[in-house]
């Protein structure tokens, strides 16, 4: 048998007061005595009363909920962003609803529909790799609620954005590898259709030109940047007649897969092939050799995304001036690319 859900009316019947008085007591209305409030809270607890959040949101126009969409939660980058934005939002009385797309366009669409139905006060999102059509994000704008994109976002949407300088990150990495004596630098990138990965690819190409190194199409490959992709693409690069002497990978998980192959093939890292990842995942400093990687400052991205949302809410209108914050990065040089220390 399904147990009937407790309502405000049930609490009112126990205390012999009106449902309106119960509602006011639960919302700490000053017109209700402390004695009545205490009694209402106790009965609500005894009856296991759960507030109907959706109904409250429809009545008040504010749910105090913020939707967060990430490609995956098992990444230190995304989990750190979530932790930091939640910390800021909680202090202002907001809770977050986390959904993950698993890089699926369909799941991302479903998440947006669910969050809009739940009457969230805003959505903070990082796009899935598969996302090309932006219609579902336009839905959020049409609903008149704030949309803040971080890490992955598209300029065409014309919304607030918090991220890093992906283009310059590639310049930093290529310069480091050139300084180590590398002359044939490969890039295992994400897909060009995603803006951040396209910017990393552009940065890689322009940095090669800046350092008078040739661009070889066979040294530039795209992938989903999973561990398996890193293994597969590293094998592909090793099969070349003239293999690279350095590999820049646009994500640490794929860099880990590449490292596994290099270790299995007993290739000397970094003297034969230097390796640099991206994201500074915790494992990057723990594996052997440790992986050089870009620090993306996920903590600051999370905080800034929360601050931008709160700025919208405090003005109670969608801001006319968009916020675009691009954070600088730094390269953490470790054993996988530091030839001068090997």
Q: Is the N-terminal amide bond of 234 cis, ω within 30° of 0?
A: no
Residue count (the chain): 342
How many Å apart are CA 159 and CA 154, to the nearest integer? 9
Q: CA dihedral in degrees (312, 317, 320, 325; nearest 10)?
A: 10
CATH class as words, domain 166-296+331-341: alpha beta
Any idea which of 35-39, 251-255, 263-267 has the lowest mean pLDDT? 35-39
pLDDT score for 194: 87
Handedness of CA 26, 29, 32, 37 (dihedral sign): positive
How many Å apart are CA 291 and CA 282, to the nearest integer? 10
DSSP 3-state assignment of 282?
A: helix
pLDDT score for 221: 97
- Name the residue with tokens 């809009």: 116
Residue 87: CB atoms within 10 A of its CB come to: 13
189: pLDDT strictly greater than 90: yes
Any idea which of 1-5, 104-108, 186-190 has the lowest mean pLDDT? 1-5
How many Å apart are CA 113 and CA 92, to the nearest integer? 25
The residues spanned by each domain of the chain are 8-51, 63-163+298-328, 166-296+331-341
Token readout for 341 is 């220390």
The contacts of residue 283 (CB under 8 Å, 6+ apart) are 252, 256
Which residue spans within the chain are E strands per DSSP? 65-70, 95-100, 122-125, 147-150, 160-164, 185-189, 220-222, 246-249, 274-276, 293-295, 324-327, 330-332
DSSP 3-state assignment of 222?
A: strand
* Residue 220's pLDDT band (cuts 50, 70, 90): very high
- pLDDT tens for residues 116-172? 988 899 999 999 888 888 889 999 988 889 999 999 876 678 899 999 999 999 999
278: pLDDT strictly greater than 70: yes
**DSSP labels for 32-94?**
S-HHHHHHHHHHHHHTT----HHHHHHHHS---EEEEEES-SSSHHHHHHHHHHHHHHHHTT-
User: Angle at Cα 128 formed by Cα 256 and Cα 311, nearest 5°?
Assistant: 110
Residue 3: CB atoms within 10 A of its CB come to: 6
Between 306 and 158, residue with greater pLDDT: 306
Average pLDDT over residues 241-258: 97
167: closest CA among 201, 209, 194? Answer: 201
How many Å apart are CA 163 and CA 150, to the nearest integer? 6
Handedness of CA 143, 146, 148, 153 (dihedral sign): positive
pLDDT score for 318: 52
**Cα separation of the two ends of the chain:** 69
Residue 175: CB atoms within 10 A of its CB come to: 14
How many Å apart are CA 132 and CA 249, to the nearest integer? 23
Task: Look at the domain 63-163+298-328 and name its fold.
Answer: Rossmann fold (3.40.50)
Quick check: 174 and 248 in contact, CB under 8 A?
Answer: yes
279: pLDDT strictly greater than 80: yes
192: pLDDT strictly greater than 80: yes
**DSSP labels for 109-148?**
HHHHHHHHHTT-SEEEE---TT----HHHHHHHHTT--EE
Q: CA dihedral in degrees (189, 195, 196, 199; nearest 10)?
A: 70
98: pLDDT strictly greater than 50: yes
Topology match between the domains 63-163+298-328 and 166-296+331-341: yes
């Amino acid at each position: 048998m399904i147990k009937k859900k407790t309502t405000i009316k049930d609490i009112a019947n126990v205390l012999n007061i009106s449902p309106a008085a119960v509602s006011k007591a639960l919302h700490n209305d000053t017109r209700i005595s402390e004695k009545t409030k205490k009694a209402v809270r106790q009965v609500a607890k005894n009856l296991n009363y759960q507030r109907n959040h959706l109904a409250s949101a429809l009545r008040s126009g504010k749910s105090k909920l913020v939707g967060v969409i990430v490609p995956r939660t098992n990444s230190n980058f995304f989990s750190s962003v979530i932790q930091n934005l939640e910390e800021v939002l909680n202090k202002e009385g907001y809770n977050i609803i986390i959904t993950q797309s698993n890089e699926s366009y369909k799941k991302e669409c479903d998440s947006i529909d669910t969050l809009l139905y739940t009457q969230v006060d805003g959505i903070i999102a990082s796009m899935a790799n598969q996302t090309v059509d932006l219609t579902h994000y336009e839905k959020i704008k049409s609903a008149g609620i704030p949309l803040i994109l971080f890490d992955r976002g598209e300029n065409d949407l014309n919304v607030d954005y918090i991220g890093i300088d992906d283009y310059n990150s590639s310049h930093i990495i290529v310069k480091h590898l050139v300084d180590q004596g590398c002359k044939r630098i490969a890039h295992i990138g994400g897909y060009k259709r995603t803006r951040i990965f396209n910017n990393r690819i552009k940065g890689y190409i322009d940095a090669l030109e800046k350092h008078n190194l040739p661009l070889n199409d066979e040294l530039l490959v795209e992938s989903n940047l999973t561990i398996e992709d890193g293994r597969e693409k590293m094998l592909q690069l090793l099969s070349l007649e003239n293999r690279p002497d350095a590999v820049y990978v646009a994500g640490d998980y794929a860099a880990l897969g590449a490292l596994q192959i290099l270790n299995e093939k007993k290739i000397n890292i970094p003297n034969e092939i230097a390796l640099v990842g991206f994201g500074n995942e915790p494992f990057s400093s723990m594996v052997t050799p440790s992986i050089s990687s870009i620090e993306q400052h996920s903590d600051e991205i999370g905080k800034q995304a929360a601050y931008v949302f709160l700025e919208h809410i405090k003005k109670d209108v969608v801001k006319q001036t968009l916020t675009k914050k691009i954070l600088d990065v730094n390269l953490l040089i470790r054993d996988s690319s530091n030839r001068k220390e090997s």
